[in-house]
Amino acid sequence: MLSYRHAFHAGNHADVLKHAVQAFILESLCAKDKGYSYIDTHSGAGGYTLSHEWTQKKAEYQGGIARLWNKQEKWPQLSGYFNAIRAINAGDALEHYPGSPLLAAHFQRPQDRLNLMELHHNEVELLRQNLSGDGVAIHHRDGFEGLVGLLPPTPKRGLVLIDPPYELKEDYQRVASTLQKARKRWPIGIYAVWYPLLARAVDRSEGLKQALAQLGFEQVLCAELSVQSQADDFGMHGSGMIVLNPSWKLDEKLAELLPSLSQTLAQDQQAGFTLEWLK
């Protein structure tokens, strides 16, 4: 199924959590001069114009990044994330939002390598328009099979971001089976997995957490952010990030961030967060 377009959701509460975690990990990797590899399994278009009709249809960014943008001084721990957003905007206006590929490109140094995968034909063409340059490889392929094929990468350390749309229930199983194969080929990599919190799919997200905790990674960290009460419909009330082989002090950074982030992005009094070691 290739109907999903992330432009409809760009900059929403789930993007804020996902990209904050991504920025924390990339900052940690940049702390050493040695190069790293970044692999994105579901890259999308790479970046988004917030005035586009698709983005404006629900304007989900208003409940996400827009709530933080004009109060950046209150979020010093997110300076790297904000700098990546500012790099694609003119002045202080919030007109464009980076997807995970543009966020990764902001942190990229000459010694680092980006491998970006996208299966959707139109999206991968936009991705090619939005990103280019040395050390960036764009692959028009399925991210699940593509990941295994690209491992182990060079440089040997780095981050994989896995964030499928989960339109198909099989995506949950594919994430787990792909990571099982990936661990055999690249056991030292950092793997960050995004997933939605949906009232109708609690068993799937819980099953994913259990499956990833049993893959054999020494450390598995899970952060969830819920912005509203669970409704018995098709809405997403929050999202989660599972990080296997988390970067140094990622748990401490999230423990500092999540309480205030859940308050700022709350849509009702049922908003909240969890941060736990699954292993």
Q: Which of 163, 203, 233, 268 is catalytic?
A: 163
Q: Can you give the pTM of this predicted structure?
A: 0.95
Q: What is the pLDDT of residue 167?
A: 87
What is the Cα–Cα distance from 224 to 264, expressed in whole angstroms? 15
Give CA–CA dist 171/30, Å, rounded: 31
The angle that helices 79-86 and 13-30 make with each other, rounded to 10 degrees, is: 100
Task: Output the pLDDT for position 229.
Answer: 87
Say whether pLDDT at 231 is over 80. no
Average pLDDT rounded to a whole number, residues 24-39? 98
pLDDT beyond 80 at 251: yes
Report, as an integer, the average pLDDT of 41-46: 95
Give residue 4's pLDDT band: very low, low, confident or very high (50, 70, 90). Answer: low
What's the pLDDT at 5? Answer: 72
- Mean pLDDT for all residues in the chain: 94
Tell me the two tokens of residue 30: 């940049």
Lowest mean pLDDT among 61-65, 123-127, 233-237: 233-237
CB-count burial class (<10 Å; 0-12, 13-18, 19+) for 90:
exposed
pLDDT score recorded for residue 233 = 63
- Report d(CA 43, CA 141) in Å as an integer: 11
Could you tell me which of 34, 118, 70, 59 has the C-alpha nearest to residue 264?
70
- State yes or no: pLDDT of 3 exceeds 60: no
Q: What angle do CA 231, 235, 236 make, to 5 degrees?
A: 100
- Nearest CA to 157 out of 248, 41, 80 is that of 248
- 40 catalytically annotated: no
- The residues with which 139 forms a beta bridge, in sequence order, are 117
Please list, residue by residue across 3-15, b when 16 or more beta carbons sit within 10 angstroms of its beta carbon and e when fewer do.
ebbbbbbbbbbbb
Q: What letter represents residue 238's amino acid?
A: G
Per-residue pLDDT, 146: 97
pLDDT band of residue 53 (cuts 50, 70, 90) is: confident
Give, in degrees to the nearest 5, the angle at Cα 47 between 167 and 176: 35
Confidence band, pLDDT 50/70/90 cuts, at residue 56: confident
Return the higher-pLDDT residue of 233 and 257. Answer: 257
Determine the average pLDDT of the residues in 226-233.
Answer: 80
Is residue 270 a contact partner of residue 225, using CB atoms and an 8 Å limit? no
Q: What is the pLDDT, as a whole number, of residue 232?
A: 62
Is the dihedral angle over the CA atoms 51, 52, 56, 59 positive or is it negative?
negative
Ordered by start, the domain boundaries in the chain are 6-277
Mean pLDDT of 241-248: 98
Superfamily of domain 6-277, CATH level 4: Vaccinia Virus protein VP39 (3.40.50.150)
Q: Three-state DSSP class for 229?
A: coil
- Locate 136 and state its tokens: 């960036």
- DSSP secondary structure code for residue 200 in this structure: G
